[in-house]
A and B are shown apart, each in its own frame.
Chain A
């Protein structure tokens, strides 16, 4: 139980293109989803929090026009990195928190992450 699927696991793109990353909760309803970024040997840095049906709340220093987040349903959130540049290369991880038979309401369950490389 409590499976969060993140796709793609790895993406390589050219500078200036946009990349969409999907995060799905497979067996529970994700009322809240989170997007993190992890730099090598560093902690997970929260980028934004999204609640289903409402606009995402971005952390200080995160450009909302560059990192577009959509949480259109209780099982799906997407992160779009617009006009990607080499400095956007990183490991992006989503997590979900919600309700269901297999989840505890205050636990965030994580996807496997997406390695983005911008050439």
Chain B
């Protein structure tokens, strides 16, 4: 039973355009959500998080949107850069993030010059 789903295994965008990565979850107890970026043979790097009390959080080129009624979140990267090419994992946790994280399978983003 996959509680966090990233239905697009890959995404390809042009440099300078917007990248939108999507994530769906099923567990209504999740109230804290994170996005991590991962390069091959490296550990994930934290990008941005959002609490369920918000519907948007922004940090530079990265914005995360949360739609609680749809149990859906998305990560927007604007403008996309070739260095953004990586696998992006969505993760969720109950209890404000104090519990363990549940990860999606990841979306491989390729930004073409």
Say yes or no: is A46 at the interface (Cβ < 8 Å to chain B): yes
Within 8 Å by CB of A106, from B32, B42, B104, B105, lies B32
Binds A, one of B14-22, B60-68, B70-78, B94-102: B94-102
Name the residue of chain A whose CB is nearest to the CB of B49.
Answer: A107
Size band of the B side of the interface? Answer: 20 to 34
A43 near B: Cβ within 8 Å? Answer: yes
Given contacts A43-B106, A44-B89, is CB(A110)–CB(B36) below 8 Å? yes
Cβ–Cβ contact B98 & A106, under 8 A = yes
Q: Per-residue CB proximity of A1-22 to B under 8 Å, as 1/0? A: 0101010010000000000000
Q: Which residues of A contact B (CB under 8 A)?
A: 2, 4, 6, 9, 34, 41-44, 46, 49, 91, 93-95, 104-113, 115
Query: What is B's interface to A at a CB cutoff of 8 Å?
Result: 9, 32, 34, 36, 41-46, 49, 89, 93, 96-98, 100-106
**6 closest A-B pairs by CB:** A106-B97, A110-B43, A43-B103, A43-B105, A44-B103, A110-B44
Contacts A6-B43, A43-B105, A110-B43 known; list 4 others, CB within 8 Å.
A43-B103, A49-B100, A107-B34, A107-B49
